[in-house]
């Protein structure tokens, strides 16, 4: 079956550090890939998405590139801020975004000033 594996946290970084959160997936066919973010006390929010190989999703300074050859969708940000502290979830769906999502376990990021 489909599955998502992401790096375990927690990840603690100083402000302005470079962030990478690794995500790899197993899926049949050509899934769509997502990063969701959950800020403290809030619901899941879609951060970015990519629907086909070599697509790059980007939002709020975060980027992730759909790499079919390595089945990966790593999240990166060049300079993190304290406000980026949250739990980040990698997810896939079999077709676009309208089929059930399969999530990774989440990676907690703490950014300290």
Partner 1 sequence: DTGVSQDPRHKITKRGQNVTFRCDPISEHNRLYWYRQTLGQGPEFLTYFQNEAQLEKSRLLSDRFSAERPKGSFSTLEIQRTEQGDSAMYLCASSFDLGWQYFGPGTRLTVT
Write out the E strands in the chain.
3-6, 11-14, 19-21, 23-26, 32-38, 44-50, 56-59, 62-65, 75-77, 86-93, 102-103, 107-112
Residue 8 CB, nearest approach to partner 1 (Å):
10
Q: Give the length of the chain.
A: 113
Residue 15 CB, nearest approach to partner 1 (Å):
26
**Cβ distance to partner 1 smaller for residue 17 or 63:** 63
**Cβ distance to partner 1 smaller for residue 14 or 45:** 45
**Cβ distance to partner 1 smaller for residue 42 or 69:** 42
């Amino acid at each position: 079956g489909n599955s998502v594996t992401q790096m375990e946290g927690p990840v603690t970084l100083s402000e302005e550090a470079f962030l990478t959160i690794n995500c790899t997936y197993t899926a049949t066919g050509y899934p769509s890939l997502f990063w969701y973010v959950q800020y403290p006390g809030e619901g899941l929010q879609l951060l970015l998405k990519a629907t086909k190989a070599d697509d790059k999703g980007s939002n709020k300074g975060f980027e992730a590139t759909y790499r079919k050859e390595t089945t990966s969708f790593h999240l990166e940000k060049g300079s993190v801020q304290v406000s980026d502290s949250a739990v980040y979830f990698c997810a896939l769906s079999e077709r676009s975004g309208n089929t059930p999502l399969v999530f990774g376990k989440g990676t907690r990021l703490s950014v300290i000033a």
